[in-house]
Chains A and B, each alone.
Chain A
Amino acid sequence: MSNPTLVMYDEEFQEINEVIGRLLNEANAKVIFLVDKNGQLISGVGETERFDTTSLASLTAGNIAATGGLAKLIGEKEFSILFHEGEKDNLHISIVGGRVILVVLFDNRSSLGLVRLRVKKSSEELSAIFEKLLVKSEEREKRGSSDFPFAEITDDDIDNLFS
């Protein structure tokens, strides 16, 4: 496999939510999402119930993938920040630690400068957490530790899903 499975544990999940929760306040944002580069939503804070978060995650990843493709065409590694300006709401999208996507939605109660500044600080913290997660997954893999929830499932469990 080109990419190991992303595994999220309670401890890191809480740490991540603390960081993006703080960012939400400091950047005066409406909503913040963290999305895996493959389009899976990792977490979200703020007015998340107002949005179709699954679709948002998938489209954000598609957007990052497409601009990443553009970047490579012109000889860049990636475009690490995307900014979409709307009439009322704006999206600030950035890549964290090369692997996850941080999406900040804000309106005129904040500003691009403030968001950029706060995102930069939070990105470093988030990078460290994801780095830790990666190490943790690798260690568990090496130990052959099987807290993997699927190790014990039976064929019947799988069949039952479809009955």
Chain B
Amino acid sequence: MSFINYASREINCKIVYYGPGLCGKTTNLQFVYQKTAPDAKGKMISLATETERTLFFDFLPLSLGEIRGFKTRFHLYTVPGQVFYDASRKLILKGVDGVVFVADSQEERIDANIESLENLRINLKEQGYDLDKLPYIIQYNKRDLPGAMSVEELRRELNPTDVPEFEACATTGEGVFETLKAVAKLILIDLKKGK
């Protein structure tokens, strides 16, 4: 649910990075944070455990620039990936405008990917959303690891609806901005349709 403020001429949108534990959601945001000019970003907030596992969410506000005199701002959130944090994940999906599903390309994580994707669908449905109608992108992360499955295999398992997909290595930043731009663009196109 975007927020349009005519008084301050701003449009705010919310993007959520979803995916199984340790797939690289936080790393995506950290890379965006590091590489964004100081005037275009706010403070990044990470509510994490002592071992740096996401406990509630990470949050990064970005401003992209103006369209027709309106400032466009994107609020990036991650969810905690670990299975038992499901209650928290549901809360973060509230008011979402676009979703990035970060998949872990390693073969041993394919079941975790599938489970997380199903969980995303269910949790969205509880909030009254349909994943197939939301701006939605898949990112195949950790392409650099030796145990990575081929993109064709991952696509077959995780992307039956053929949504836009990107290969990435979030630690080096490869594919991170491509993913973000793609989802931001889908959101803006969706807004344009005036849904």
Residue ranges of A at the interface with B (Cβ–Cβ < 8 Å):
1-10, 13-14, 36-40, 42, 52, 54-55, 58-59, 62, 65-66, 68-69, 146, 148-153, 155, 157-162
The answer for the CA separation of A155 and B192 in the assembled complex, in Å, is 10
Interface centre among A5, A66, A68 (most CB of B within 10 A): A5
User: Are the C-beta atoms of B6 and A8 separated by less than 8 Å?
Assistant: yes
The answer for the CA separation of A159 and B90 in the assembled complex, in Å, is 32
List 7 A-B pairs, minimum CB-CB distance, nearest first. A2-B128, A38-B95, A13-B7, A65-B91, A40-B3, A8-B5, A3-B1
The answer for the CA separation of A153 and B61 in the assembled complex, in Å, is 23
The answer for the CA separation of A39 and B93 in the assembled complex, in Å, is 12
B191 at the interface (CB under 8 A from A): yes
B69 CB → nearest A CB, Å: 7
Beta-carbon nearest neighbor of B188 in chain A: A158
B129 at the interface (CB under 8 A from A): yes
Residue ranges of B at the interface with A (Cβ–Cβ < 8 Å):
1-8, 11-12, 14, 42-43, 45, 47, 56-57, 59, 61, 64-65, 67-70, 72, 75, 87-88, 90-92, 94-95, 127-129, 181, 184-185, 188-189, 191-192, 194-195
B74 CB → nearest A CB, Å: 10
The number of A-B residue pairs with CB atoms under 8 Å apart is 134
User: Are the C-beta atoms of B67 and A161 separated by less than 8 Å?
Assistant: yes
User: Are the C-beta atoms of B45 and A66 separated by less than 8 Å?
Assistant: no
Chain B residues within an 8 Å CB radius of A10: 6-7
User: Are the C-beta atoms of B56 and A62 separated by less than 8 Å?
Assistant: yes
The answer for the CA separation of A6 and B11 in the assembled complex, in Å, is 10
The answer for the CA separation of A59 and B75 in the assembled complex, in Å, is 12
User: Are the C-beta atoms of B128 and A149 separated by less than 8 Å?
Assistant: no
Chain B residues within an 8 Å CB radius of A55: 42-43, 45, 59, 61
The answer for the CA separation of A20 and B141 in the assembled complex, in Å, is 46
Which of A38, A59, A146 has a CB less than 8 Å from the CB of B1?
A38
B87 CB → nearest A CB, Å: 6
Chain A residues within an 8 Å CB radius of B68: 149-150, 152-153, 157
Chain B residues within an 8 Å CB radius of A3: 1, 95, 128
User: Are the C-beta atoms of B4 and A5 separated by less than 8 Å?
Assistant: yes
Beta-carbon nearest neighbor of A146 in chain B: B194
User: Are the C-beta atoms of A158 and B185 separated by less than 8 Å?
Assistant: yes
User: Are the C-beta atoms of B64 and A161 separated by less than 8 Å?
Assistant: yes
Chain A residues within an 8 Å CB radius of B127: 2
Chain A residues within an 8 Å CB radius of B45: 55, 58-59
User: Are the C-beta atoms of B2 and A5 separated by less than 8 Å?
Assistant: yes
User: Are the C-beta atoms of A69 and B91 separated by less than 8 Å?
Assistant: yes
Beta-carbon nearest neighbor of B7 in chain A: A13
The answer for the CA separation of A160 and B65 in the assembled complex, in Å, is 9
Could you list some 20 contacts between A and B, CB below 8 A? A3-B1, A5-B2, A5-B4, A6-B1, A6-B2, A6-B3, A7-B5, A8-B3, A8-B5, A13-B6, A52-B43, A55-B42, A58-B45, A58-B59, A62-B91, A66-B56, A69-B90, A150-B194, A153-B192, A162-B181
